[in-house]
């Protein structure tokens, strides 16, 4: 049995706040159709794909932000995307803001799901590494209030058997942390799908757009190589509500090389054939975690939140 998956990194241009959810979903359906026409089995959409990246704006009354979150998934606005997936027999992964009520309390997460070729939710991930701050910073040109709008994800780093392989997800800032990849790597992950929304400028540091793109690629390529897994990183790009977001969506082979990438900062797919068996040699030989890791010397990694001396 071959395990070659044809995957589309379904990059999206900006989703400005004035754009109705249904219009955004219809753009995504266009991308999913293109991917299906290209013979893809799976398409990966960005972080918070259905809305503007609203954590850049401060709303003093958190409840006024409720419209940015999905209360159910799927819901009436998004159902056509699920129906299309089933009709065209193509899976997808989608990032969105999730609101849920548990024990009488509301919980908000930055979430991503995997939908199978029958249009059914096969897995869910909730972002663990939330960047930014929880306090309003009026002097910054834009906010990064993820710690205000979201709780830390409570699902860990699941890896599920889907699409003939071991599949996991993470979201944007998660891609900068080796722990993200390793947690999934230790579970044998062969494909990590991640969406990102990354401004080309850092309001608090002097960093060129080129350096920021280099760092984005660096961590995804290292994560892929060191865990012998495919990584699909997908941007929401372009000028969204006045803030420029980087593109550079790409598909990375377990050898660390980029094998497909987008060219612009608008709606666009990049497609690659990913043979999941290409993960096997690195897992069995080059790294072989079972044989070569030295967990008895890593206890500080779990013990400390700060620096280890």
Between 143 and 228, name the residue whose CB sits nearer to ligand CDV: 143
The binding site for ligand CDV (CB under 6 A) comprises 47, 131-132, 144, 172-173, 176, 196-198
**Whose CA is closest to 267, among 13, 4, 23, 2?**
13
Is 47 catalytic? The answer is: yes
Is 127 catalytic? The answer is: yes
Q: How far is the CB of 53 from ligand CDV (least distance, A)?
A: 7
Is 290 catalytic? The answer is: no
Q: How far is the CB of 4 from ligand CDV (least distance, A)?
A: 30
Between 97 and 272, name the residue whose CB sits nearer to ligand CDV: 97
Between 143 and 229, name the residue whose CB sits nearer to ligand CDV: 143
Give me the catalytic one of 172, 219, 274, 279. 172
Give me the catalytic one of 40, 47, 279, 283. 47
Give me the catalytic one of 127, 250, 274, 279. 127
Between 93 and 144, name the residue whose CB sits nearer to ligand CDV: 144
Q: How far is the CB of 132 from ligand CDV (least distance, A)?
A: 6
Catalytic positions, written as ranges: 47, 127, 172
């Amino acid at each position: 049995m071959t395990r070659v998956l044809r995957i589309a990194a379904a990059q999206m241009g900006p989703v400005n706040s004035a754009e109705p959810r249904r219009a955004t979903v219809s753009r995504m359906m266009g991308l999913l159709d293109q991917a299906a026409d290209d013979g893809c089995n799976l398409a990966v959409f960005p972080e918070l794909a259905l809305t503007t990246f609203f954590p850049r704006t401060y709303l003093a009354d958190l409840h006024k932000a409720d419209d940015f979150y999905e209360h159910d998934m799927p819901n009436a606005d998004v159902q056509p995307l699920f129906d299309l997936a089933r009709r065209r027999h193509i899976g997808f992964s989608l990032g969105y803001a999730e609101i849920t009520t548990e024990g009488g309390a509301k919980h908000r997460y930055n979430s991503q799901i995997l939908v199978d070729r029958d249009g059914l939710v096969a897995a869910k991930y909730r972002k663990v590494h939330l960047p930014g701050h929880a306090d309003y910073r009026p002097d910054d040109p834009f906010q990064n209030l993820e710690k205000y709008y979201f709780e830390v994800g409570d699902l860990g780093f699941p890896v599920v058997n889907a699409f003939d392989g071991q599949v996991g997800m993470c979201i944007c800032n998660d891609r900068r942390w080796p722990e993200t990849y390793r947690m999934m790597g230790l579970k044998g992950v062969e494909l990590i799908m991640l969406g990102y929304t990354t401004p080309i400028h850092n309001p608090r540091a002097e960093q060129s757009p080129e350096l920021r793109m280099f760092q984005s690629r660096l961590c995804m390529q290292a994560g892929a190589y060191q865990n012998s897994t495919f990584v699909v990183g997908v941007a929401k790009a372009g000028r969204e509500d006045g803030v420029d977001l980087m593109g550079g969506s790409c598909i990375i082979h377990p050898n660390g090389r980029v094998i497909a990438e987008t060219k612009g900062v608008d709606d666009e797919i990049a497609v690659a054939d990913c043979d999941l068996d290409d993960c096997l040699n690195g897992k069995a030989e080059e790294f072989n975690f079972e044989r070569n890791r030295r967990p008895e010397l890593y206890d500080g990694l779990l013990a400390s939140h700060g620096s280890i001396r």
